[in-house]
Amino acid sequence: MPYYRQVGEIPRKRHTQFRQPDGSLYAEELMGIEGFSSESALLYHRGLPTAVVAAEAVDERGRETAPNLPLRPRHFRTGELAFPHGDPGTDAVTGRRLLFGNGDVSICFAVPDVTSPLYRNATGDELCYVQTGSARFETIYGALEVAEGDYVLLPASTTYRVVPRGERPPRLYLVEATGHIGPPRRYLSARGQFLESSPYCERDLRGPTEPLLLEGERVDVLVRHHDGLTRMTYEHHPFDVVGWDGCLYPWVFNIDDFEPITGRIHQPPPVHQTFEGPNFVVCSFCPRKVDYHPDSIPVPYNHANVDSDELMFYVGGDYEARKGSGIGIGSLSLHPSGCTHGPQPGAAEASLGAERFDETAVMIDTFRPLRLGEAATASEDSSYYRSWVRDKPES
């Protein structure tokens, strides 16, 4: 994160004696990225965070992917994905279903109704978008209450679990990176402050405000690494951090706090960028005033993704450019490199004179092709690629 935060009790000087009420030392844990040359946080545990009493590999299925062949635009309906609820139910870790993936990122969906096991992704950062509902993300840094429209950013190797809230299970769109996710560098000063030109700033972000302390012995944590899942059993509960400080911690940003950048003519997708990751970006399309040149065409122009696959998740409002395509709330459209795409037939003319678009969508552009996971195969509308043809023959 671009700014410093302190939560709970810490000593005045780092790496100095900090004692518990019984006189023993608290155990320091430095969480740092890029070795010792980038952001970090210093946490103080009651027990040793190194005390592993058992470890075993966990068999995992459903993470296989297939190429996007034949190459074509595709449409998927996440509302058609099944998530068993009740006993034993679905959790946000073991119950997530893989939609897409490549060597840089995996994109999943989950609709949990039970608390997840403790989990740590050591492969990279995770970004979770809450489409609907609410949940509590409990982490070693403290708890985060999240609801519809929230992005939750979890740094690599953060131990956490997800507790669903409310009457209906939350719908979670999950991005698993193989590196780090953060605000675009062009939004930040040389020392990490958000610039005046950024569409959001520090005031829009929420982080943990107090420690989360739980008791427990021989506690299991699922750990994801590049080669798969391991179940590690710890001597003490990892939620034993009495205090921490630093610039590396989980945080929340709500999509409604993104301030759209508009112009006299249609603005390109980079003005919507919200996050960047290893070989991918995440953009937020929000309700906004649209182009105000007297001859403007508010919907996008046809464009070819020469270097990227474009994945759009439609989460609210009425997406003008896709009218007549079958796309609705909860839909995902995949427009891959090698295919020109644009508004549906008639959308450009219909948009003339519009002053505002009431639409909300989360877009991910990847700079390597996305492969299809089992959840994509299970939810595809196979006729979508013909939706630009006025007379749609059967394939």
Binding residues for Fe cation: 303, 310, 341
Which of 75, 180, 226, 266 is labelled catalytic? 266
Residues that constitute the known binding site: 303, 310, 319, 341
Taking the C-alpha atoms of residue 384 and residue 291, their distance in angstroms, rounded to an integer, is: 28
Q: Is 226 in the active site?
A: no
Taking the C-alpha atoms of residue 39 and residue 248, their distance in angstroms, rounded to an integer, is: 6
What type of residue is 101?
Answer: G
DSSP one-letter code for 13: S
Taking the C-alpha atoms of residue 256 and residue 148, their distance in angstroms, rounded to an integer, is: 10
Q: Are 47 and 341 in contact (CB under 8 A)?
A: no
Residues that constitute the known binding site for homogentisate: 319, 341
Structure token digits, residue 25:
């030392």
Taking the C-alpha atoms of residue 326 and residue 295, their distance in angstroms, rounded to an integer, is: 29
Q: Are 298 and 351 in contact (CB under 8 A)?
A: yes
Structure token digits, residue 111:
């609709």
What type of residue is 48?
Answer: L
Structure token digits, residue 210:
């107090």
Q: Are 39 and 281 in contact (CB under 8 A)?
A: no
With vertex at residue 359, the alpha carbon angle to CA 356 and CA 362, rounded to the nearest 5 degrees, is: 135
Rg of the Cα atoms in the chain:
22
What type of residue is 22?
Answer: D
- In terms of Cα–Cα distance, which of 132, 92, 97, 131 is closest to 115? 92
Catalytic residues: 266
